[in-house]
C-alpha cells in the first residue's frame, strides 16, 4: 500500500498523520554510548569484568576499543536512525590526553571536551551518568559503603559528575539528565538493611548539594530489584528510590528502567502513576528476559504500551525524559543499537497514530465492547507505510534499506578490530 492510501485509513479514524510525524521529529531520545563496547568505557582495564550486577554476554566481533572507534560506530548508527537523538554518556567514557589519567573522583569537564565537540558537530544534546561500578573502589558497595573513605570517594565522583553535567548542559544548550544508579547490594541475606539505605540517602544528599540549575541539569535516581551477585538485597530498591525522589522533588526526578521490576509488573502502568505526582520522570527503555538481561528493544507489546502512556500522559511535552539502556555483545553491536532505536521510534510513532481521544471517550462512556474492537482493529492498520514515509522525511533509510550498510561496515571496519 502507498503512503497516501495508508494515510487515508488513519484519517478515517480521526488521526492526523502529518502532525504525528512532525511531532516525533522533535522528541529527544537518548542514545546510550555503552552498547558499542559492552559497557567497558575508557578509564579502567578493559580486561577486568563488569561489576555492579550487570552483565553483557556474547563475543561478537568488532567491539569498539577506543574513543575514535566508538565515535565512528555512533556515526554509523546516527546515519541509520530517524528522529531526534541525543547522546547518553557514562563517566567511564572520559577521554584523556596521552599519558594522562584521572580517577573518578577527580574527573573534570575537560575530560569530556571531545564528546562536546562530537555532539556540537552533530547538533546533539547529551545526558550523563556517574559510573558507580566496574572500579577497584567498589568494596563492593559505593555510596552506601560503611567505609567512610570509600563512600567519600564515590560522593566526590557524584559531585564531579554534577559539574560535568553543568558543563554539558551549558555547552550544548540542552537539558542534561544525570542518572544516579548503583549496583550496591548483597548476594545473601543481610544483617542490616537500613544502615546502607541511610548512608545511600545521605550520599545522594551530599552529591546534590553541588550547585546546579534544576531547569537544565536533572539528576535522576534509578531503582532496581536485584542484580547478578546481588540477589538478596538492593540498597536502591523501588521504594527507596521513589521515596527519595518524592521527598526531594525540587532537586531530582525518579527514573524507571523497565528491566528493574518483578516480571509481572509493567512500567507502562507506572508512568501515569508517577506522573500523577511528579512534574517530570525519566525512563530507561530496555528489554528484560526473565531478569534484567538488557536485550535489544523490540517493537513488542510492552514497548508499545510504554510509548502509548508517554504520548497520552503528555510525556512528549518535556515531562518524560526518554533513554535507551541495553547492551548485547552476541550480535553486531551497531545493528543492535540501530534496531533498538528504530523500534522505540516505531513504538512512539504508533502511539502518536492512535486516536487517543476517541478511545478515551469510549472508556469514559463504559462502551468496553467497542473499545476492545477498536483497539484490536488498530493493530492491523498499514503502519509500515507511514513508518517508511517518516524515515524518508527524516532523510533516513526505510525498513529493508539499511541492513546491507551494517554488513558493509562490518566487512570494512569491524572485522579489523582483533
Ligand atoms: C543497570 C542500570 C543502569 C545501567 C547503565 C549502564 O541495571 O540499568 O542504568 O544499565 O547505567
Ligand atoms: Zn538502566
Q: What is the CATH number of the domain that holds 321?
A: 3.20.20.150
CA 202 vs CA 34, 159, 167, 226: distances in Å? 29, 13, 25, 22
Ligand 1 near 226 CB (within 6 A)? no
Residue 374 lies in a domain: no
CA 281 vs CA 102, 199, 255, 323: distances in Å? 32, 24, 6, 11
CA dihedral 183, 342, 91, 42 (to 10 degrees): 100
From the alpha carbon of 224, which atom of ligand 1 is closest? 7
**pLDDT value of residue 47:** 84
**pLDDT value of residue 91:** 98
Query: What sign does the dihedral 63-66-69-71 (CA atoms) show?
Result: positive
Residue 312 lies in a domain: yes
Residue 365 lies in a domain: no
From the alpha carbon of 257, which atom of ligand 1 is closest? 8
> Is 135 marked active-site?
no
**266 exposed, middle or buried (CB, 10 Å; 0-12, 13-18, 19+)?**
middle
Q: Is the whole model's pTM more than 0.85, yes or no? A: yes
> Is 184 marked active-site?
no
325 alpha carbon – ligand 1 mean position (Å): 7
Mutate to test the pocket of ligand 1, among 325, 328, 329, 340 (most ligand atoms within 8 A of CB): 325
> Is 284 marked active-site?
yes
Q: Rounded to the nearest 5°, which phi and psi values hold at 323?
A: -135, 155
**Closest C-alpha to 236, from 310, 302, 180, 276:** 180
Ligand 1 near 24 CB (within 6 A)? no
- Report whether 321 contacts 299 (CB < 8 A): no
Ligand 1 near 284 CB (within 6 A)? yes
Per-residue pLDDT of the chain (418 residues; tens, 9 = 90+): 699 999 999 999 999 999 999 999 999 999 999 999 999 999 998 888 899 889 899 999 999 999 999 999 999 999 999 999 999 999 999 999 999 999 999 999 999 999 999 999 999 999 999 999 999 999 999 999 999 999 999 999 999 999 999 999 999 999 999 999 999 999 999 999 999 999 999 999 999 999 999 999 999 999 999 999 999 999 999 999 999 999 999 999 999 999 999 999 999 999 999 999 999 999 999 999 999 999 999 999 999 999 999 999 999 999 999 999 999 999 999 999 999 999 999 999 999 999 999 999 999 999 999 999 999 999 999 999 999 999 999 999 999 999 999 999 999 999 999 8
Ligand 1 near 34 CB (within 6 A)? yes
Ligand 1 near 204 CB (within 6 A)? no
Ligand 1 near 224 CB (within 6 A)? yes
Residue 377 lies in a domain: no
> Is 294 marked active-site?
yes
Mutate to test the pocket of ligand 1, among 56, 179, 181, 258 (most ligand atoms within 8 A of CB): 181
- Which range of residues forms the domain containing residue 235? 15-356+396-416
**Cell matching residue 11:** 484519517
User: Of residues 257, 328, 388, 410, which has the active-site annotation?
Assistant: 257
Ligand 1 near 218 CB (within 6 A)? no
- Report whether 86 contacts 126 (CB < 8 A): yes
Mutate to test the pocket of ligand 1, among 52, 53, 54, 288 (most ligand atoms within 8 A of CB): 54
> Is 377 marked active-site?
no
**Closest C-alpha to 341, from 370, 312, 303:** 303
> Is 224 marked active-site?
yes
**113 exposed, middle or buried (CB, 10 Å; 0-12, 13-18, 19+)?**
middle
Residue 6 lies in a domain: no
> Is 231 marked active-site?
no
Buried b or exposed e, range 179-188, using 16+ CB within 10 angstroms = bbbbbbbbee
Residues 310, 280, 266: CA angle, nearest 5 degrees: 45
User: Of residues 38, 294, 309, 385, which has the active-site annotation?
Assistant: 294
Q: What's the number of domains the chain is made of?
A: 1
Q: Which ligand is located closest to the Cα atom of residue 52?
A: 1
Q: Which residue has the cell 509488573?
A: 265
* Length of the chain measured in residues: 418
- Report whether 119 contacts 125 (CB < 8 A): yes
Residue 1 lies in a domain: no
> Is 181 marked active-site?
yes
Relative to beta strand 253-257, strand 126-129 is unpaired
Residue 119 lies in a domain: yes
Q: Rounded to the nearest 5°, which phi and psi values hold at 216?
A: -115, -40
In the 3-class helix/strand/coil scheme, how is the chain assigned residue by residue? Answer: CCHHHHHHHHHCCCCCHHHHHHHHCCCEEEEEHHHCCCCCCCCCCCCCCCCCCCCCCCCCCCCCCCHHHHHHHHHHHHCCCCCEEEEEEEHHHCCCCCCCCCCHHHCCHHHHHHHHHHHHHHCCCEEEECCECCCCCCCCCCCCCCCHHHHHHHHHHHHHHHHHHHHHHHHHCCCEEEEECECCEECCCCCCCHHHHHHHHHHHHHHCCCCCCCCCEEEEEECCCCECCECCEECCCHHHHHHHHHHCCCCCEEEEECCCCCCCCCHHHHHHHHHCCCCCEEEEECEEECEEEEECCCCCHHHHHHHHHHHHCCHHHCCEEEEECCCCCCCCHHHHHHHHHHHHHHHHHHHHCCCHHHHHHHHHCCCHHHHHHHHHHHCCCCHHHHHHHHHHHCCCCCCCCCHHHHHHHHHHCHHHCC
> Is 257 marked active-site?
yes
Partnered with residue 11 across adjacent β-strands are none
Relative to beta strand 28-32, strand 84-90 is parallel
Residue 387 lies in a domain: no
Q: Rounded to the nearest 5°, which phi and psi values hold at 267?
A: -70, -30
Amino acid at each position: 500500500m502507498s503512503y497516501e492510501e495508508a494515510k487515508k485509513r488513519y484519517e478515517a479514524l480521526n488521526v492526523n498523520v502529518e502532525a504525528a510525524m512532525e511531532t516525533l521529529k522533535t522528541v529527544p531520545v537518548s542514545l546510550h554510548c555503552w552498547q558499542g563496547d559492552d559497557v567497558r568505557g575508557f578509564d579502567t582495564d578493559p580486561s577486568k569484568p563488569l561489576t555492579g550486577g550487570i552483565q553483557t554476554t556474547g563475543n561478537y566481533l568488532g567491539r569498539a576499543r577506543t574513543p575514535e572507534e566508538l565515535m565512528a560506530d555512533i556515526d554509523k548508527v546516527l546515519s541509520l536512525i530517524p528522529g531526534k537523538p541525543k547522546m547518553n554518556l557514562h563517566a567511564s567514557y572520559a577521554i584523556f590526553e596521552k599519558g594522562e589519567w584521572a580517577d573518578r573522583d577527580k574527573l573534570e569537564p575537560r575530560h569530556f571536551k571531545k564528546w562536546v565537540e562530537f555532539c556540537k558537530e552533530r547538533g546533539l544534546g547529551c545526558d550523563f551518568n556517574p559510573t558507580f561500578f566496574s572500579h577497584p573502589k567498589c568494596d563492593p558497595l559505593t555510596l552506601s559503603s560503611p567505609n567512610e573513605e570509600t563512600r567519600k570517594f564515590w560522593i566526590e565522583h557524584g559531585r564531579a559528575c554534577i559539574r560535568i553535567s553543568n558543563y554539558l548542559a551549558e555547552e550544548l544548550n540542552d537539558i542534561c539528565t544525570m542518572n544516579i544508579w548503583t549496583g550496591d547490594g548483597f548476594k545473601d541475606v543481610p544483617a542490616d538493611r537500613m544502615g546502607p539505605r541511610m548512608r545511600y540517602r545521605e550520599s545522594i544528599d551530599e552529591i546534590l548539594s553541588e550547585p546546579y540549575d534544576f531547569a537544565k541539569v536533572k539528576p535522576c535516581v534509578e531503582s532496581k530489584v536485584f542484580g547478578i551477585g546481588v540477589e538478596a538485597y538492593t540498597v536502591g530498591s523501588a521504594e527507596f528510590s521513589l521515596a527519595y525522589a518524592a521527598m526531594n522533588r525540587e532537586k531530582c526526578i525518579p527514573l524507571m528502567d523497565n528491566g528493574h521490576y518483578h516480571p509481572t509488573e509493567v512500567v507502562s502502568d507506572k508512568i501515569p502513576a508517577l506522573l500523577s505526582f511528579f512534574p517530570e520522570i525519566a525512563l530507561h527503555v530496555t528489554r528484560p528476559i526473565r531478569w534484567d538481561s538488557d536485550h535489544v528493544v523490540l517493537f513488542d507489546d510492552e514497548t508499545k504500551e510504554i510509548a502509548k502512556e508517554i504520548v497520552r500522559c503528555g510525556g512528549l511535552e518535556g515531562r518524560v525524559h526518554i533513554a535507551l539502556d541495553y547492551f548485547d555483545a552476541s550480535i553486531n553491536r551497531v545493528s543492535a543499537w540501530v534496531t533498538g532505536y528504530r523500534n522505540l521510534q516505531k513504538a512512539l510513532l504508533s502511539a502518536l497514530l492512535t486516536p487517543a481521544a476517541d478511545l478515551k471517550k469510549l472508556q469514559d462512556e463504559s462502551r468496553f465492547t467497542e473499545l476492545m474492537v477498536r483497539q484490536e482493529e488498530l493493530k492491523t492498520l498499514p503502519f509500515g507505510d507511514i513508518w517508511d514515509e517518516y524515515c524518508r522525511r527524516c532523510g533516513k533509510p526505510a525498513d529493508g534499506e539499511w541492513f546491507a550498510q551494517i554488513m558493509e561496515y562490518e566487512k570494512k571496519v569491524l572485522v579489523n578490530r582483533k
